């Protein structure tokens, strides 16, 4: 009899806490990332870490916890598809690699990285793809610490060390010091080593494989056969491959080898863009916004004709971005922010959205790129970058007119929720 009573009490308390657990968000405007539209007067129901309902005709129980964002525009949490959380280079330092590789050490590096990770979250990025420059799988360690709640940060999808050819991205390193870069990069010398490198990365927890098709600023590069072997092996384990590739030849070789994404792609011919579109290869343009260019010039005390220099760079970015869109290439958002702009790194990273806007992308096109399309690329199309039933409760809100005053509004952040927990309110 006592046992029966106890079990009834336990069941009823579970039932009560389930209903009272739900949180409702009233959104004045809502960005529908899948359809690139702004909806109005939308209600989102959240239970634990998931969205369990969304729509205009949802009734909110009188005693339910309600977050009133009816004055604001609500968006899925942003995704930065190209970060290096474990790296911050001082713009006036001639040898940032030496500092990082010889003096910083893994422990200090991860602690610093965790602070940077938090700044991404506080600036509305609830997910990042961290693409190397992170020592011997320190990105996997930080990801674990965030997932278990030890530190606050965005969801991380990580590559581990970049798989790369001789020398890594450190040109001219004295031969007797070459071992120094073997923790920072996975250097391969043959097709067999390429295959094993992927197995090593999968074993240590990489979510994605990052390669350097060309090693700029170093002059060495992977061969097409090495890249093909990497792609084949990565796809066998369900991992995508993305390639740092700056010039047209490197992009063409990587795309021919079967990669899924191209990072940077500063110079790409129309022929290569057409091939990318045909093969469904995404482009992550890591461009710099005009305000960040000015900040950079100030920090390094750049004396040459600033306006001319800036215009040349922006014209090149814009020409490439618009030709890529015209060719039908999917654009994903990636800040590649690893330079110290003397502001929180997550704030500097958000300038990537401004850069695309300066170059002619429309606000909703940019938002779709940094939510829905980026989530699709990671195979998370129904869980991230979207506000709908079943998705993770990664939700942000901004104050202002996102369609007509994009560059200001995107920085007017009033709310950040990740995995059902509120970080900015």
Positions that interact with Zn ion (CB under 5 A) = 336
β pairing state of 23-32 and 240-245: unpaired
* DSSP-based three-state secondary structure for 257: helix
Name the percent of the chain in helix, strand, coil, to the closest 5.
40, 25, 35
Considering beta carbons, is residue 48 or 93 the nearer one to Zn ion? 93
Tokens for 201, please give them. 């990365």
Considering beta carbons, is residue 72 or 185 the nearer one to Zn ion? 185
Considering beta carbons, is residue 242 or 330 the nearer one to Zn ion? 242
Work out how close the CB of 84 gets to Zn ion at its nearest, in angstroms, rounded to a whole number: 6
- What is the rounded CA–CA span in Å between residue 273 and residue 212? 19
Work out how close the CB of 201 gets to Zn ion at its nearest, in angstroms, rounded to a whole number: 17
Angle at 153 between CA 239 and CA 235, to 5 degrees: 0
Considering beta carbons, is residue 336 or 359 the nearer one to Zn ion? 336
Q: In what order do the strands lie in the sheet with 395-398?
A: 50-55, 37-47, 23-32, 65-76, 395-398, 413-418, 421-424
Considering beta carbons, is residue 34 or 263 the nearer one to Zn ion? 263
Considering beta carbons, is residue 82 or 155 the nearer one to Zn ion? 82
Tokens for 264, please give them. 């940077």
Considering beta carbons, is residue 83 or 409 the nearer one to Zn ion? 83
Considering beta carbons, is residue 207 or 336 the nearer one to Zn ion? 336
How buried is 28 (Cβ within 10 angstroms: 0-12 exposed, 13-18 middle, 19+ buried)? middle
Work out how close the CB of 131 gets to Zn ion at its nearest, in angstroms, rounded to a whole number: 6
* DSSP-based three-state secondary structure for 324: helix
Work out how close the CB of 370 gets to Zn ion at its nearest, in angstroms, rounded to a whole number: 17
Work out how close the CB of 133 gets to Zn ion at its nearest, in angstroms, rounded to a whole number: 7
Work out how close the CB of 416 gets to Zn ion at its nearest, in angstroms, rounded to a whole number: 24
String of DSSP letters for 131-200: -S-STTTHHHHHHHHHHTTSS---EEEE--SEEE-TTTT-TT--GGGGGGGGTTEEE--SHHHHHHHHHH
Work out how close the CB of 345 gets to Zn ion at its nearest, in angstroms, rounded to a whole number: 13
How buried is 296 (Cβ within 10 angstroms: 0-12 exposed, 13-18 middle, 19+ buried)? middle
Work out how close the CB of 380 gets to Zn ion at its nearest, in angstroms, rounded to a whole number: 21
Considering beta carbons, is residue 80 or 336 the nearer one to Zn ion? 336
**Which residue in the block uniquely carries the two structure tokens 């369609």?**
403
Work out how close the CB of 288 gets to Zn ion at its nearest, in angstroms, rounded to a whole number: 13
- What is the rounded CA–CA span in Å between residue 178 and residue 121? 36
- The answer to whether the beta carbons of residues 5 and 331 sit under 8 Å apart is no
Considering beta carbons, is residue 356 or 423 the nearer one to Zn ion? 356
Considering beta carbons, is residue 82 or 201 the nearer one to Zn ion? 82
- What is the rounded CA–CA span in Å between residue 163 and residue 185? 6
Length of the chain: 425
Work out how close the CB of 53 gets to Zn ion at its nearest, in angstroms, rounded to a whole number: 39
Q: How far is CA 191 from CA 64, 165, 219, 245, 280, in A?
A: 59, 11, 19, 19, 25
Give phi and psi for 199, each to the nearest 5.
-60, -40
Give residue number: closest CB to Zn ion: 336
Work out how close the CB of 337 gets to Zn ion at its nearest, in angstroms, rounded to a whole number: 9
């Amino acid at each position: 009899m006592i046992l029966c009573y106890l079990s009834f009490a336990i069941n009823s308390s579970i039932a009560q806490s389930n209903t009272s657990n739900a949180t409702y968000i009233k959104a004045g405007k809502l960005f529908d990332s899948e359809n690139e539209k702004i909806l109005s007067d939308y209600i989102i129901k959240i239970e634990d870490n998931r969205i369990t309902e969304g729509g205009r005709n949802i009734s909110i129980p009188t005693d339910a916890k309600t977050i009133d964002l009816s004055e604001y525009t609500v968006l899925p949490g942003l995704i930065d598809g190209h970060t290096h959380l474990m790296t911050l280079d001082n713009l006036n330092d001639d040898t940032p690699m030496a500092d990082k590789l010889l003096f910083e050490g893994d422990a200090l590096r991860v602690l610093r990285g965790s602070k940077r990770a938090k700044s991404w979250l506080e600036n509305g990025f609830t997910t990042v793809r961290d693409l190397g420059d992170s020592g011997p799988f320190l990105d996997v360690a930080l990801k674990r610490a965030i997932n278990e709640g030890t530190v606050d940060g965005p969801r991380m999808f990580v590559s581990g060390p970049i798989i790369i050819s001789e020398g890594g991205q450190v040109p001219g390193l004295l031969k007797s010091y070459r071992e120094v870069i073997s923790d920072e990069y996975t250097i391969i010398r043959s097709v067999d080593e390429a295959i094993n490198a992927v197995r090593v990365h999968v074993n240590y927890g990489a979510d994605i494989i990052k390669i350097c098709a060309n090693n700029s600023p170093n002059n060495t590069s992977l061969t097409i056969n090495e890249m093909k072997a990497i792609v084949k092996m990565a796809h066998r384990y369900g991992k995508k491959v993305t390639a740092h590739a700056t010039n047209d030849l490197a992009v063409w070789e990587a795309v021919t080898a079967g990669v899924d994404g191209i990072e940077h792609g500063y110079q790409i011919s129309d022929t290569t863009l057409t091939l990318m579109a045909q093969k469904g290869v995404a482009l992550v343009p890591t461009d710099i916004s005009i305000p960040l260019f000015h900040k950079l010039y100030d920090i390094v005390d750049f004396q040459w004709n600033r306006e001319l220099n800036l215009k040349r760079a922006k014209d090149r970015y814009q020409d490439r971005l618009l030709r890529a869109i015209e060719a039908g290439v999917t654009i994903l958002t990636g800040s590649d922010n690893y330079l110290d702009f003397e502001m929180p790194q997550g704030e500097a990273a958000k300038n990537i959205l401004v850069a695309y806007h300066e170059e002619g992308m429309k606000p909703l096109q940019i938002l779709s790129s940094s939510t829905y399309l980026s989530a699709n690329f990671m195979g998370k199309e129904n869980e991230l970058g979207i506000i709908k039933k079943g998705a993770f409760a990664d939700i942000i809100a901004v104050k202002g007119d996102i369609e007509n005053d994009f560059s200001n509004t995107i920085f007017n952040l009033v709310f950040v929720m990740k995995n059902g927990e509120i970080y900015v309110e």
